[in-house]
C-alpha cells in the first residue's frame, strides 16, 4: 500500500465529505485529508499546500460558480490533479470540465468503491469519467472557442482572471500576489488579448459564461 497522500475535499455537505473521506482513507496507509465547506476555504487550502496529491471539487459549492471555479483553482496550483465530483453529471458538464483541464469527473451517485477506484486511477496519471455516459462533442461554437482561449492563459493569468471576476482592483490583486501593479496591468492586457475582448468587464462577462449551467443538448 502506498504511503503518504494529501487530499483536499471541497464540498459544502458534511455528510458527503464524510463519505469521500471514507473512500480516500482506504487508498493509502497514511492519508491527510483537508476539508473545505466553501470555495474561499478551498482556495486557501490549495494555495497553502503545494504538496497536494489531489483536489476533489464540488462545482455547486458556495462561491464556486460552476466550471469557473475549476479554472480558478487550476490557476492557483496548475500541477495538482483536480477531480470534479458533482450531481450535475450530464455529458455537457462532464465534457467541459475535462476540456478545461480536470483530471476526472465523478458522479455523486457513485459508490464508495467507484470513487476510490477513480481517485486511484487519477493518482497514477489517468483521466476518469463515468463509463456509462457518452460525452459527445461540443455543440456550442462560442463555448468551444472560449475554452480554447482560456487554455492559452498561463497559470498566473488564470489566477488574475479569477480575481478580476471577484471584483478586485489591480492594486488589490498586486497585493494578494505580492507583485507590482505594473505586472498585473501586463497580465490583464495579455488576458484581454488572449480572450479577444477590449475591457476587463468584457473579460469577466466572458469568464462567467463558462460558469453557467450548460444547456441540456
Residue ranges per structural domain of the chain: 5-123, 141-209
Q: Is the pLDDT of residue 216 over 50?
A: no
Write down the pTM of the prediction: 0.84
Top-level CATH class of 5-123? Answer: alpha beta
Question: Collapsing DSSP states into helix, strand and coil, what is residue 31?
Answer: strand
Residue with cell 476518469: 128
Q: Is 33 helix (H, G, I), strand (E, B) or coil?
A: strand
Q: What is the CATH number of domain 141-209?
A: 1.10.10.10
Compute the average pLDDT of residues 6-10.
95
Parallel, antiparallel, or unpaired for β 54-57 and 31-36?
unpaired
For residues 12-38, give the mean pLDDT: 89
The pLDDT score that the predictor gives to residue 215 is: 37
**Is 70 exceeded by the pLDDT of residue 211?**
no
Categorize the per-residue pLDDT at 2 as very low, low, confident or very high, splitting at 50, 70 and 90: low
> Average pLDDT for residues 210-215, to the nearest whole number?
55
* Residue 29, pLDDT score: 79
Residue 3: the pLDDT is: 59
Q: pLDDT digits over 37-83, tens only?
A: 999 999 999 999 989 999 999 988 888 777 888 888 888 888 899 99
| Long-range CB contacts (within 8 A, 24+) of 129-132 | 129/94, 129/98, 129/104, 129/105, 130/89, 130/94, 130/105, 130/106
For 141-168, what is the mean pLDDT? 90
Rama region for 68: left / alpha / beta (φ>0; ψ in -120 to 50; rest): alpha
% of the chain beyond a pLDDT of 90? 52
* 212 pLDDT tier (thresholds 50, 70, 90): low
How far apart CA 187 and CA 153 sit, in angstroms, is 10
Amino acid at each position: 500500500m502506498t504511503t503518504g497522500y494529501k487530499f483536499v475535499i471541497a464540498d459544502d455537505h458534511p455528510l458527503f465529505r464524510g463519505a469521500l473521506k471514507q473512500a480516500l482513507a482506504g487508498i493509502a496507509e497514511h492519508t491527510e485529508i483537508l476539508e473545505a465547506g466553501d470555495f474561499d476555504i478551498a482556495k486557501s487550502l490549495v494555495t497553502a499546500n503545494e504538496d497536494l496529491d489531489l483536489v476533489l471539487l464540488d462545482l455547486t459549492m458556495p462561491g464556486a460558480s460552476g466550471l469557473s471555479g475549476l479554472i480558478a483553482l487550476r490557476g492557483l496550483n496548475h500541477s495538482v490533479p483536480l477531480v470534479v465530483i458533482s450531481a450535475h453529471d450530464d455529458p455537457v458538464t462532464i465534457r467541459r470540465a475535462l476540456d478545461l483541464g480536470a483530471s476526472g469527473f465523478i458522479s455523486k451517485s457513485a459508490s464508495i468503491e467507484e470513487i476510490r477506484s477513480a481517485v486511484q486511477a487519477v493518482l497514477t496519471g489517468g483521466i476518469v469519467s463515468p463509463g456509462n455516459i457518452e460525452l459527445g462533442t461540443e455543440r456550442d461554437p462560442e463555448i468551444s472557442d472560449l475554452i480554447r482561449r482560456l487554455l492559452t492563459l498561463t497559470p498566473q493569468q488564470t489566477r488574475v482572471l479569477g480575481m478580476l471576476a471577484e471584483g478586485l482592483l489591480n492594486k488589490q490583486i498586486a497585493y494578494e500576489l505580492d507583485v507590482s501593479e505594473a505586472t498585473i496591468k501586463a497580465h490583464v492586457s495579455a488576458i484581454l488579448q488572449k480572450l479577444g475582448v477590449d475591457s476587463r468587464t468584457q473579460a469577466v462577462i466572458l469568464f462567467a459564461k463558462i460558469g453557467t449551467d450548460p444547456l441540456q443538448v
